[in-house]
A and B are shown apart, each in its own frame.
Chain A
């Protein structure tokens, strides 16, 4: 049973464009929603995260939008660059010592 559904599976964006990756969750008890970025040959690394009491969080060109009523959250990458080409994972976690639940990932390619 997949608790976090991520789409699209792959995404091609022109340089300078906006990349949008969407995630939906089922468990309303999740209380922390991080995004991880993974470059080829490397492990994933935390990119940005949000709590459900906030509707938006921005860090540089990266923004998380959070819709608690719809149980959805999304990552927007503004002015996408070739260096942003990577696999992105959304995730969710309950409080306490429970493991992080990951979406299946989105492979982003930014072409010049």
Chain B
């Protein structure tokens, strides 16, 4: 069965802390994504990666960075957390290559609160 796991379901951090959110997929997918979900705004893409060590900015990359050292793992980093980064963070993955990457598979999400 397809599986995307995220390191934490709930996380509380203080302003200014460095925060790591981890995502692991077991489907050998090339593409991985980080979204944030806020009420009334849907899902907004932060960063995505189409290969190991490759990354591209999404629609709202400011204040975030990512790391992909292994194919199955994609990390989101908040260098200095701020209260406006309180949100639900969703990781997803999809197969790569041309027209085959139709569907994204999602993890359960991490609800991050920055105080």
Q: Do A and B come from one complex?
A: no
A residues sitting closer than 8 Å to B (CB atoms) are none
Q: Which residues on B are within 8 Å of A, measured CB to CB?
A: none
